[in-house]
């Protein structure tokens, strides 16, 4: 019986190795019901940026003509 704890310690220490653990692969992103809505929102932001850019260019052209 006295050898059992020693044996368990030896087995536990033997289970430890010098090898680094294998990297865990990331799971692919899970699709959510909001993905389509987020994509539409991003597309709307992109369109708004384009509209704002064109409006700024038009404003500059009008100012250049007035001078």
Q: What is the pLDDT of residues 36-62, one digit of tens each?
A: 899 999 999 999 999 999 999 999 999
The closest alpha carbon to 52, from 9, 24, 60, belongs to 60
In a domain, 45, yes or no: yes
Range of the structural domain that residue 43 is part of: 34-67
Instruction: For residue 23, give both structure tokens.
Output: 């990297």
As for how many domains the chain has, the answer is 1
Task: Give tens-digit pLDDT for 3-39.
Answer: 888 888 777 776 666 777 778 888 787 888 899 899 9
- 64 domain-assigned: yes
What's the predicted TM-score (pTM) here?
A: 0.50
**Domain annotation covers residue 51:** yes
Q: CA-CA distance, 58 to 46, in Å (whole number)?
A: 18
Report yes or no on 19 lying in a domain. no
């Amino acid at each position: 019986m006295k050898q059992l704890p020693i044996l368990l310690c030896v087995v536990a220490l033997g289970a430890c190795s010098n090898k680094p653990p294998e990297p865990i692969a990331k799971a692919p992103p899970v699709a959510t019901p909001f993905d389509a809505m987020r994509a539409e929102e991003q597309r709307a932001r992109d369109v708004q940026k384009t509209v704002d850019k064109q409006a700024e260019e038009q404003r500059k052209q009008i100012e250049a003509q007035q001078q």
